[in-house]
Protein backbone atom coordinates (compact mmCIF):
# COMPACT_ATOMS: atom_id res chain seq x y z
CA UNK A 1 0.00 0.00 0.00
CA UNK A 2 1.28 3.47 -0.86
CA UNK A 3 0.34 6.77 0.77
CA UNK A 4 0.34 10.42 -0.34
CA UNK A 5 -0.68 13.86 0.93
CA UNK A 6 -4.09 15.00 -0.31
CA UNK A 7 -6.18 18.16 -0.08
CA UNK A 8 -9.78 17.11 -0.51
CA UNK A 9 -9.47 14.51 -3.28
CA UNK A 10 -6.48 16.08 -5.04
CA UNK A 11 -3.16 14.27 -4.60
CA UNK A 12 -0.42 16.80 -3.72
CA UNK A 13 2.63 14.61 -3.24
CA UNK A 14 4.34 11.62 -4.71
CA UNK A 15 3.64 8.33 -3.00
CA UNK A 16 5.57 6.89 -0.06
CA UNK A 17 5.60 3.31 1.22
CA UNK A 18 4.28 4.15 4.72
CA UNK A 19 2.09 6.72 6.44
CA UNK A 20 5.00 7.52 8.75
CA UNK A 21 7.34 8.37 5.87
CA UNK A 22 4.63 10.47 4.24
CA UNK A 23 4.17 12.43 7.48
CA UNK A 24 7.95 12.82 7.87
CA UNK A 25 8.31 14.29 4.36
CA UNK A 26 5.33 16.57 4.93
CA UNK A 27 6.94 17.75 8.18
CA UNK A 28 10.22 18.48 6.37
CA UNK A 29 8.19 20.57 3.91
CA UNK A 30 6.62 22.61 6.73
CA UNK A 31 3.16 21.10 6.28
CA UNK A 32 2.84 19.72 9.83
CA UNK A 33 1.67 21.48 12.98
CA UNK A 34 1.68 20.24 16.57
CA UNK A 35 -1.75 20.16 18.21
CA UNK A 36 -2.31 18.75 21.68
CA UNK A 37 1.13 17.15 21.53
CA UNK A 38 0.46 15.33 18.25
CA UNK A 39 1.69 15.97 14.73
CA UNK A 40 -1.16 16.99 12.43
CA UNK A 41 -1.18 18.12 8.83
CA UNK A 42 -1.92 21.79 8.25
CA UNK A 43 -4.62 23.35 6.08
CA UNK A 44 -7.03 20.42 5.98
CA UNK A 45 -4.43 18.15 4.39
CA UNK A 46 -4.70 14.40 4.89
CA UNK A 47 -2.63 11.31 4.27
CA UNK A 48 -4.55 8.72 2.32
CA UNK A 49 -3.76 5.35 0.82
CA UNK A 50 -3.50 5.38 -2.96
CA UNK A 51 -2.04 3.57 -5.92
CA UNK A 52 1.78 3.78 -6.06
CA UNK A 53 3.31 6.17 -8.57
CA UNK A 54 4.13 4.41 -11.84
CA UNK A 55 7.79 5.45 -11.59
CA UNK A 56 10.08 5.53 -8.57
CA UNK A 57 10.91 9.10 -7.63
CA UNK A 58 13.49 10.60 -5.28
CA UNK A 59 13.33 13.61 -3.00
CA UNK A 60 14.53 15.80 -5.88
CA UNK A 61 11.09 15.23 -7.41
CA UNK A 62 9.26 16.72 -4.41
CA UNK A 63 8.05 20.12 -5.53
CA UNK A 64 6.75 20.88 -2.03
CA UNK A 65 9.93 19.91 -0.17
CA UNK A 66 12.12 22.65 1.28
CA UNK A 67 15.31 23.59 -0.51
CA UNK A 68 18.28 21.58 0.62
CA UNK A 69 21.85 22.91 0.73
Per-residue pLDDT of the chain (69 residues; tens, 9 = 90+): 899 999 989 998 889 999 999 999 999 888 999 889 888 898 889 999 999 988 776 666 565 644 444
CB 53 within 8 A of CB 16: no
* Domain regions of the chain by residue span: 2-51
How many other CB atoms are there within 10 angstroms of residue 15's CB atom? 20
Amino acid sequence: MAYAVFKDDQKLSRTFPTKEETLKKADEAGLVDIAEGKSVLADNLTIKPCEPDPEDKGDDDLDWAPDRP
